[in-house]
Amino acid sequence: MTNPTSPLNERPLDMIIFGGGGDLAARKLLPALYMAHTHCNLPADTRILAIGRKDWTREDYLRNFMEEQARPFIDSKVFDAQSWDKFLALFDYVRVDVENPGDFQRLAQAARPGSQRVLYLSTSPELFVTICENLDGAGILDEHARVVLEKPLGHDLASARAINDAVGKHFKEEQIYRIDHYLGKETVQNLMVLRFGNAIFGPLWQAPYIKSVQITVSETVGVGSRAGFYDHTGALRDMVQNHLLQLLCIVAMEPPVSLDPDAVRDEKLKVLKSLRPMTVADIARDTVRGQYTAGAVGGEAVKGYLQEQNVPADSRAETFVALRAHLNNWRWANVPFFLRTGKRMQNRRSEIVIDFADLPFSIIPEGPRHYGNRLTITLQPEESIQLQMMAKEPGSGMHMQPVTLNLDLQQAMTQRRAEAYERLLIDVIRGRLTHFMRRDELEAAWTWVEPILNGWKELGDRPRGYTAGTFGPAASSALMARENLAWAEEA
Ligand code: BG6
């Protein structure tokens, strides 16, 4: 399957945003489009059609939403009033109740004949099917149209399939852009370059030279105002099924034959398919669910999850997950992958830690034996790549000490780093699918995750409490300690 790449400026662009008055539009999409516009990455003839249910005029939308809700999310250091005015000039507002097919006629009239249409569905996924049907019914779709689907794409395998089937009736797979914003992060893309642009890691990137891999995405934020969504979602669906598994894919995949979308996605799919399914006994032993209780983050007292707004008092939703995964393939035989994510943790940090094997034999008698080579790839808050090496401590004896080779990417490359959404939106506009999930990837991820959700139910599992501002329940450390390993911050 080839990637239909349309050069910038080929056709006028109509960017149509469903959920144009929503939270994601305000926080991420519109600021990202503003930045793309400011840096001349939108086709010259672009229009942005914000779709919402409110009975607003264009002016109402610009004032009530763009100015008041979206603009505060643009970094004031880069904001420019003149460029903002030019950006606002691209907008139109179309009132559409997506459940009313008649309303789509208004949209059909607003879209320009022959335009390249990008339909961004930033709504609840329950509406995806209706929106696609009504778009088709109103004659808004053609073979050039592209649709962008926001997560959560399903609640389980069956619902993910149902969405894919329904959207697939109106769009071919190469017109569908399933967003996982982690794939748009500079550092995540850089991981591919680290692996496939440097010859030195290739031979070592496998068992038995790698002992274990840790992938952590820790957040300091709590559930905030999203309890309605989060409480029946939980951390496994919200973060592991997509972001963490995508990171795992990039760490573990075989070198793709090229950067073509399907070449990369074929390799990621193989990783997902090689995840060893977990039995109920595995789930009891190798997974830890947690829920934060009151504590302090960054010196500020914070509530426990059960005290948050709109959270049921007996909620069993997990706000933390740690688990040990295995890949059933030659490259990774017997190498545990530890995945961990949580809200209200001690710090905001996303990192991948690759622990290389111990020395087969040490001829250097003096010095701590437990040190090994460790590659730490930090995705956020700052991008960095560090390799821990052993060196001789100055002096007369032969003492080893770990020292860190530090790749300072911020200093080495001072170019502006675009936010994930900006980069991904530009990819959609240019028809680049490499950093979007293909249908089979999504379904393979659900195939592995769903039994864990069922296993927890079967085990009657309650999440373990952990104090906000810590690194999760003690059982998470025990998961590693069992194998004589430790999470990076505990080592
Ligand atoms: C989203 C989740 O997909 O990712 C949120 O729904 C989470 O719960 C967010 O906070 C984390 O993204 P980032 O880019 O801040 O690490």
136 shares its domain with 191: no
Same domain, 139 and 214: no
Mean pLDDT of 412-429: 93
CATH code at position 344: 3.30.360.10
Q: What's the confidence (pLDDT) of residue 4? A: 43
- The mean pLDDT of 404-433, rounded to a whole number, is 92
Structural domain count, the chain: 2
Residue 406 domain flag: yes
pLDDT at 2: 34
- Say which amino acid occupies 353: V
For ligand 1, atom 15, name the residue with the nearest CA: 219
Mutate to test the pocket of ligand 1, among 27, 181, 229, 350 (most ligand atoms within 8 A of CB): 181
Query: Does residue 243 have an active-site annotation?
Result: yes
pLDDT in tens, 58-94: 999 999 999 999 999 999 999 999 999 999 999 999 9
Q: Is 167 annotated as a binding residue?
A: no
Q: Which of 239, 341, 382, 437 to mutate to test the pocket of ligand 1 (most atoms within 8 A of CB)?
A: 239
Within this chain, do residues 145 and 283 fall inside the same structural domain, yes or no? no
pLDDT category of residue 443 using cuts at 50, 70 and 90: very high
List the structure tokens of 10.
Answer: 């080929």
Among 5, 106, 100, 10, which residue's Cα sits nearest to residue 49? 106
* Residue 156 maps to a domain: no
Answer yes or no: do 231 and 278 share one domain. Answer: yes
**Residue 363 class from Cβ within 10 Å (0-12 exposed, 13-18 middle, 19+ buried)?**
exposed
Question: Which residue of the set 243, 326, 370, 399 is catalytic?
Answer: 243
Q: Judge whether residue 113 has pLDDT over 50.
A: yes
Q: Is 178 among the domain residues?
A: no
pLDDT score recorded for residue 368: 59
Distance CA 12, CA 142 (A): 14
Per-residue model confidence as pLDDT tens digits over 171-186: 999 999 999 999 999 9
What is the per-residue pLDDT across 234-245, written as a single tens digit (0 to 9) for each? Answer: 999 999 999 999
Q: Is residue 405 part of a domain?
A: yes
Beta strand residue intervals within 346-444, DSSP E: 349-356, 374-380, 384-392, 400-407
pLDDT class for 10, splitting at 50, 70, 90? Answer: confident
pLDDT tens, residue by residue, 137-195: 999 999 999 999 998 899 999 999 999 999 999 999 999 999 999 999 998 999 999 99
Substitution candidate for ligand 1 out of 153, 188, 219 with most atoms within 8 A of CB = 219
The last residue of a domain, from among 133, 150, 167: 150
263 and 403 inside one domain: yes
Say yes or no to pLDDT of 360 above 90.
Answer: no
344 and 411 housed in the same domain: yes
Same domain, 16 and 101: yes
Q: Is residue 397 part of a domain?
A: yes
Among the candidates 150, 174, 196, a domain finishes at 150
Secondary structure of residue 10 in the 3-state scheme: coil
What's the 135 CA to ligand 1 centre distance in angstroms? Answer: 29
473 lies in the same domain as 338: yes
pLDDT score, position 367: 61
Average pLDDT for residues 44-55, to the nearest whole number? 96
Q: Which domain holds residue 138?
A: 7-150
pLDDT of residue 6: 46
Least reliable range by pLDDT among 109-123, 201-215, 387-401: 387-401
Residue 310 lies in a domain: yes
**Which residue's alpha carbon is nearest to atom 9 within ligand 1?**
239
Q: Are 256 and 359 in the same domain?
A: yes
Average pLDDT, the chain: 94
The closest residue, in CA terms, to atom 13 on ligand 1 is 182
Q: Is residue 157 part of a domain?
A: no
Ligand 1-lining residues (CB < 6 angstroms): 219, 238
Question: Which ligand 1 atom is the nearest neighbour of the CA of 226?
Answer: 8
Residue 185 assigned ligand-binding role: yes
Share of the chain above pLDDT 70, in %: 97
Please give the number of the atom of ligand 1 that sits closest to the Cα of 348.
Answer: 16
Same domain, 247 and 303: yes
CATH number assigned to the domain comprising residue 90: 3.40.50.720
* 99 lies in the same domain as 197: no
pLDDT score of 5? 45
Asked whether residue 133 falls in the same domain as residue 240, the answer is: no
Q: Does a structural domain hold residue 2?
A: no
Which residue, among 275, 405, 404, 258, has the nearest Cα to 336 in the 3D structure? 275
